[in-house]
């Protein structure tokens, strides 16, 4: 990763001499954000036991993070425009480190949920700013491709590392270190940011769409909270229905305002494009199922099968390796020759089949025979889907819209994770309760009831994957890149 020497003909004109060290700093920050999306999963059973969380409340450890992340992601890019990228990057690092330390010191479920929400909020500032800094630091097309490749590889490996590191920290230290570990990483990135990143002034004309933030975030919170409360109140409860209806109304108001706002968070022409809309919907539905899978399998491994946290982390490695390998070695190469939906639709079908395989779980299932095949199928399916989605969403985007388009895709992932975790956890817990009610000897069938609840939720996750495949088949009509009309190369100064 050595930068070309001054005067080297390979060096871009006016290139930052510290740009490759800047890449290290930016990638380190992104790795921390990606790592945090999975590292807490393995620690969740231990945290639930120590803090006395109920089964109904436990999803908030995940959804508080993803909801704040997804709800504020579009705003994060606008903040960078307003106050400058390096300054925003530093603010994001400091805030994320402080929120992580607060979560590690949590003495109650509410304190942990609040810390996770703060983590998500600062991640929403940090993630788009990191991508923005990368795009503006590497302006030469050859170096830019290499830089984005390194950045993507590190980000892609973050989920694998999250499961492994989370398991090791939980088993050999305790679950709190899954949050504390972010602080030294953030400090290293912070020191590097001051040393090697170039500052860019904010744009005086940039404005924050405060009504858009309030309407969008309030709508999402109401829907996720409604799904979560259905576990204790029931689906027909007036309070639950009111939350869900109120969330829909607020999101409708958000769309109405975005069509009229002078500087909207989400320019509606971004989602009116048929191919992009199909990709956003596909990704949201797929991630709804994936987050549920990670939640239930974590508890299944540790609570039902008695795995240690470290062994649980290793049990998840095949699915993430399958996703990364298929995405980078197969989908990326095939995409140049076939239409995106020729990869995405079969991918979602394979994902649904993997979920269906996992619905056969029992209290004494074998990992190699009963669990691994399902995990691999889901991993291969997601690998066939990720790359075509990213390529299709960003293809032919106007320079001024490239940042907000990428942020919208990330938002669809985080929102899908929030809704999916709340919805599927409610289905699992209500199905477990119904199973126990029907049993004559509830105390003797607790584990069977829990597994039954998981399998009901996994059937629902399989259905979500099938819906994602249907959305792809009906909406995504883009041709293979080599057959598509040429598009103008994006300008590097192109962030939300």
DSSP letters spanning 69-100: HHHHHHHHHHHHHHH-HHHHHHHHHHHHHHHH
Mean pLDDT of 461-470: 94
Between CA 437 and CA 454 the distance in angstroms is 17
Task: Report how far residue 492's alpha carbon sits from residue 134's, in angstroms, rounded to the nearest whole number.
Answer: 9
What per-residue confidence (pLDDT) applies to 486? Answer: 47
Q: What is the pLDDT of residues 108-157, one digit of tens each?
A: 999 999 999 999 899 888 877 776 677 667 666 666 556 665 665 566 56
pLDDT tens per residue across span 382-408: 989 887 887 788 776 665 666 677 778
Burial class from Cβ neighbours inside 10 Å (0-12, 13-18, 19+) for residue 443 reads: exposed
CA angle 240, 218, 229 (to 5 degrees): 25
Tokens (6 digits) for 429: 């817990």
pTM of the model: 0.79
Q: Is the pLDDT of residue 448 over 50?
A: yes
Radius of gyration in angstroms for the set of CA atoms belonging to the chain, rounded to a whole number: 22
Instruction: Give the pair of three-digit tokens for residue 21.
Output: 């060290």
Has residue 495 got a pLDDT over 50?
no
Nearest to 412 by CA among 263, 252, 326, 290: 290
Predicted local distance difference test score (pLDDT) of residue 197: 76
Q: Which helix or strand (DSSP H or E) is residue 342 part of?
A: helix 341-358
In this structure, of 105-114, 329-338, 342-351, the range with the lowest mean pLDDT score is: 329-338
């Amino acid at each position: 990763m050595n930068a070309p020497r001054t005067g080297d003909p390979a060096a871009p004109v006016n290139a930052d001499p510290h740009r490759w060290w800047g890449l290290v700093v930016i990638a380190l920050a992104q790795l921390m954000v990606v790592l945090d999306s999975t590292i807490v999963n393995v620690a969740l059973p231990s945290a639930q036991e120590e803090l006395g969380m109920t089964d109904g409340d436990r999803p908030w450890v995940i959804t508080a993070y993803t909801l704040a992340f997804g709800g504020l992601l579009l705003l994060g890019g606008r903040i960078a425009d307003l106050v400058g990228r390096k300054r925003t990057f530093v603010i994001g690092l400091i805030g994320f480190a402080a929120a992580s330390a607060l979560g590690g010191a949590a003495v109650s479920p509410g304190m942990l949920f609040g810390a996770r929400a703060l983590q998500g909020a600062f991640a929403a500032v940090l993630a788009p700013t990191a991508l923005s800094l990368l795009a503006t630091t590497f302006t030469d097309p050859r170096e830019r491709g290499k830089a984005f490749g390194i950045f993507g590889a590190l980000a892609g490996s973050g989920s694998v590392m999250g499961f492994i590191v989370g398991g090791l920290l939980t088993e050999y230290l305790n679950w709190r270190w899954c949050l504390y570990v972010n602080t030294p990483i953030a400090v290293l990135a912070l020191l590097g940011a001051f040393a090697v990143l170039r500052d860019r002034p904010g744009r005086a004309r940039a404005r924050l769409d405060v009504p858009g933030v309030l309407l969008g975030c309030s709508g999402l919170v109401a829907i996720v909270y409604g799904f979560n409360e259905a576990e204790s109140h029931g689906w027909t409860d007036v309070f639950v229905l009111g939350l869900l209806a109120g969330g829909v109304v607020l999101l409708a108001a958000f769309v109405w305002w975005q069509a009229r706002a002078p500087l909207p968070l989400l320019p509606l022409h971004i989602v009116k494009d048929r191919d992009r809309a199909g990709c956003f919907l596909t990704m949201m539905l797929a991630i709804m199922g994936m987050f549920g899978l990670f939640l239930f399998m974590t508890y299944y491994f540790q609570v039902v099968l008695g795995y240690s946290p470290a062994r649980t982390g290793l049990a998840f490695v095949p699915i993430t390796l399958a996703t990364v390998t298929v995405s980078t070695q197969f989908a990326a190469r095939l995409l140049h020759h076939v239409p995106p939906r020729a990869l995405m639709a079969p991918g979602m079908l394979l994902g649904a089949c993997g979920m269906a395989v996992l619905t056969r779980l029992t209290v004494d299932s074998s990992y190699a025979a009963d669990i691994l095949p399902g995990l691999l199928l889901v991993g291969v399916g997601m690998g066939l889907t990720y790359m075509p989605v990213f390529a299709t969403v960003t293809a032919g985007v106007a320079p001024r819209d490239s940042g907000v388009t990428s942020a919208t895709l990330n938002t669809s992932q985080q929102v899908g994770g929030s809704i999916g975790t709340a919805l599927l956890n409610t289905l699992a817990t209500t199905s477990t309760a119904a199973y126990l009610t029907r049993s004559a000897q509830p105390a003797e069938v607790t584990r069977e009831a829990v597994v039954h609840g998981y399998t009901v939720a996994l059937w629902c996750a399989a259905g979500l994957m099938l819906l994602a495949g249907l959305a792809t088949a009906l909406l995504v009509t883009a041709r293979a890149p080599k057959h598509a009309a040429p598009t103008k190369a994006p300008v590097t100064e192109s962030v939300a």
